[in-house]
Chains A and B, each alone.
Chain A
Amino acid sequence: MRWRGGGGAGGFSGAKARTYGFVFSFLLVPLVLYVVFVIGPYAQAFYISLTNWKGISATPTFVGMENFTRLLGDEVFWAAVRHHGLLLLALPLVTIAVALFFAFLLNIGGGRRGRTAGVPGSKFYRVVYFFPQVLAVAVVGVLFQAVYRPDGTGVLNGLLALAGIDPVGWLIEPDLALWSIMAVLVWQLVGFYVVLFSAGMSAIPQDVFEAAALDGAGRFRLFFGITLPLIWDTIQVGWVYLGIAAFDCFALVQVLSVDRGGPDNATTVLPLEIWRTAFTFSKFGYASAMGVALFFLTITFAALSLRVTRRERIEL
């Protein structure tokens, strides 16, 4: 054991014991909490996924891999997996693209000849854009019920009507519904990333832009050639956050979609199917198997993201 900062540590055993005691005392409470409330339940869930437990009997019957082989042929499950994959890809892409665009306008796009300046009122926009982030998902879901109402009485369709466009079934067209729900997530999340990227962009030195401008770089080159590479690590951090946020779509789907996950499974996501399987169908074993599948999906995503961003190495 070594106090990483202090090269000369480890001299006498009393200090060593004290250090061990310190480490132990600092780790004890968080570790106990974490093991009891997080690891314990998860471990149980892994076991339950190998049983046909229905949520009440004391002794679930062990069924081996049966639940998992059943998953292979479950088309609703695969629809949910597909939608999840789509969310994992599209949500970060769209959110980051939109946020970058706005952050660029707010911080750099307003200037000329390499003079970087935000457009007038950029502070106001940042404040407004960020606000949905502090609203509870449940609030946002209920709010968008009214926005997306499928006939002429919906807020969005009311706007379209002003332009002479017929009402759109935002949540009832199977091809459109998932995107509509994703748009709500983007709506809520973009502000955070605008602020995040703004911070990254304001850290870029002014003379870099001036030099580029002297070379005759336009806004597009300023953006793609300079801004983007220089805030790349910030973008990667954002990507990880968004990947985690994509798993949060359960509440929105539950509140907004037709018949919860419909029409025709068009919006179902894994958390929703797990919920339904466990609490409506009383198949906790099978639901847990879905949960285990979701776990491996997440860990794959996390491993890939961490590998791509290598946050740790940078920090070290």
Chain B
Amino acid sequence: MADTATTTETVRVARPPRPAGRRPRDTPGVFGALSHVALVVWAILVIGPILWTFLASFKTNAEIVGDAPLALPQAYDWGAWGRAWDKAHIGRYMLNTALVVGASTFLTMLFGSMAAYVLARYRFFGNRAVYYLFVSGLAFPVFLALVPLFFVVRNLGLIDTHLGVILVYVAYSLPFTVFFLSAFFRTLPTSVAEAAMMDGASHTRTFFQIMMPMARPGLVSITIFNIIGQWNQYLLPIVLLSGAVEDKWLLTQGIANINTNAGYEADWPGLFAALSMAILPMLVVYIIFQRQIQSGLTAGAVK
């Protein structure tokens, strides 16, 4: 394993500039054709269900439950979208989620990188113990903690508050963040930080002004990782934000609720309209930032 890695490193260092596009490409053969088919099929598999959801929001109940699932809607009207918007509060849930995830990701990154940095670069009594305490959190299934967690948060008076959700998100994101970032901090060269310390910079200043910028690829990567993870979190908000505070709910709760109601009132177009509303903003944000998301997400991981 280590050998392979070393090889890779060596090769990577010796990497020449890529001689791109010097020769005209040959026509792709059978393999090219087949591979194209495979790629197109998967693209359809990805786009298909999402596109179908959009179309279904314009259909009627009878069309959705009818025998022609692939047919186009008979008429395009926005009635279901209006119902979903009014009843399902998708807009509010999305805003709530954005606020919560924004705050918790920021705090996760701040506290996570602080802890990871100290654990990676300083040798002190209990360092390894603390490190393994954090990392062992990776192996804990959230489920195990669900019930006691409810009581802990309630006893702190934080149940049904966004603050409670934010703090819990931060706490549960720390293991992976610390694990990932402390590995990352260890790979960074020490000379710059040493020079800064020699110049009399405090530990804190060295961290924020020297180390943080140097660790940027890793930080971006894990930030995106945390945003996606917390945005999709499903269990914790259910426990921490009860039905009494529906106006504080997060998006995943809203979707589950719409699913329940749609099953109950049999308003499938409304369900699919609500789903579309949940998907659309993500699609827009993703398309705008896809380059940053993709490169950021992989930069740290491939390192």
Q: Direct A–B touching in the complex (beta carbon < 8 Å)? A: yes
Asked if B115 and A112 sit within 8 Å, CB to CB, the answer is no
Annotate A236-269 by CB proximity to B: 1 below 8 A, 0 otherwise. 1100000010010011000100000000000000
Contact of B148 among A4, A41, A251 (CB under 8 A): A41
Residues of B within 8 A of A2 (CB): 122-123
Asked if A230 and B8 sit within 8 Å, CB to CB, the answer is yes
Known: A45-B147, A271-B143, A292-B144. A127 touches B290 (CB 8 A): yes
A219 within 8 A of B: yes
Annotate B149-171 by CB proximity to A: 1 below 8 A, 0 otherwise. 10011000000000000011011
B43 CB, nearest partner CB in chain A, Å: 5
Query: How long is the Cα–Cα vector from A314 to B298 in the complex, in angstroms?
Result: 17
Q: Which of A143-198 contact B (CB under 8 A)?
A: 143-144, 146-147, 149, 152-155, 157-159, 162, 187, 190-192, 195-196, 198
Annotate A190-230 by CB proximity to B: 1 below 8 A, 0 otherwise. 11100110111001111110000000000100000000011
Q: Which of A95-150 contact B (CB under 8 A)?
A: 101-102, 105-106, 109-113, 115, 117, 119, 121, 124-139, 142-144, 146-147, 149
Asked if A310 and B1 sit within 8 Å, CB to CB, the answer is yes
Stretch at the interface among A14-22, A66-74, A85-93: A14-22
Closest to A298 in B: B139
Contact of A23 among B23, B118, B139, B293 (CB under 8 A): B118
Residues of B within 8 A of A117 (CB): 25
Residues of B within 8 A of A18 (CB): 202-203
Closest to A313 in B: B2
Query: How long is the Cα–Cα vector from A157 to B68 in the complex, in angstroms?
Result: 10
Asked if B231 and A136 sit within 8 Å, CB to CB, the answer is yes
Contact of A33 among B140, B146, B170 (CB under 8 A): B170
B266 within 8 A of A: no
Contact of B252 among A137, A234, A314 (CB under 8 A): A137
Known: A20-B124, A136-B255. A127 touches B287 (CB 8 A): yes
Asked if A119 and B36 sit within 8 Å, CB to CB, the answer is yes
Query: How long is the Cα–Cα vector from A250 to B238 in the complex, in angstroms?
Result: 14
Query: How long is the Cα–Cα vector from A163 to B253 in the complex, in angstroms?
Result: 38
Asked if B171 and A152 sit within 8 Å, CB to CB, the answer is no
Total A-B residue contacts, Cβ distance less than 8 Å: 336
Known: A26-B114, A142-B259. A6 touches B197 (CB 8 A): yes
Query: How long is the Cα–Cα vector from A312 to B298 in the complex, in angstroms?
Result: 18
A44 within 8 A of B: yes
Asked if A316 and B47 sit within 8 Å, CB to CB, the answer is no
Closest to A111 in B: B25
Asked if A129 and B46 sit within 8 Å, CB to CB, the answer is yes
Annotate B237-258 by CB proximity to A: 1 below 8 A, 0 otherwise. 0000000000000011001101
Closest to B172 in A: A38
Query: How long is the Cα–Cα vector from A57 to B259 in the complex, in angstroms?
Result: 34
Contact of B31 among A40, A219, A298, A313 (CB under 8 A): A219
A315 within 8 A of B: yes
Known: A136-B252, A153-B69. A105 touches B39 (CB 8 A): yes
A77 within 8 A of B: no
Contact of A200 among B153, B275, B293, B302 (CB under 8 A): B302
B71 CB, nearest partner CB in chain A, Å: 9
Known: A111-B25, A233-B8. A26 touches B117 (CB 8 A): yes
Query: How long is the Cα–Cα vector from A146 to B183 in the complex, in angstroms?
Result: 43
Residues of A within 8 A of B283 (CB): 131
Q: Please report A residues at the B interface, Cβ cutoff 8 Å.
A: 1-6, 9, 18-20, 22-23, 25-27, 29-31, 33-34, 36-42, 44-45, 48, 55, 101-102, 105-106, 109-113, 115, 117, 119, 121, 124-139, 142-144, 146-147, 149, 152-155, 157-159, 162, 187, 190-192, 195-196, 198-200, 203-208, 219, 229-230, 232-234, 236-237, 244, 247, 250-251, 255, 270-271, 274-275, 278, 284, 287-288, 291-292, 294-295, 298-299, 301-302, 308-316
Which 4 pairs of residues, A with B, have the shortest CB-CB distance? A5-B190, A291-B144, A37-B171, A41-B145
A-B contact pairs, 14 of them (CB 8 A): A20-B124, A30-B114, A41-B152, A129-B46, A136-B252, A139-B279, A142-B255, A146-B272, A155-B70, A187-B45, A200-B302, A251-B235, A301-B139, A312-B183
Q: Please report B residues at the A interface, Cβ cutoff 8 Å.
A: 1-2, 4-5, 7-8, 11-12, 14-16, 18-19, 23, 25-26, 28, 31-32, 35-36, 38-39, 42-43, 45-50, 52-53, 56, 64-70, 111-112, 114-115, 117-119, 121-125, 130, 133-134, 136-141, 143-149, 152-153, 167-168, 170-172, 174-175, 178, 183-184, 186-187, 190-191, 193-194, 197, 202-204, 207, 228, 231-232, 234-235, 251-252, 255-256, 258-259, 271-272, 275, 278-279, 282-283, 285-287, 290, 293-295, 297-299, 301-302
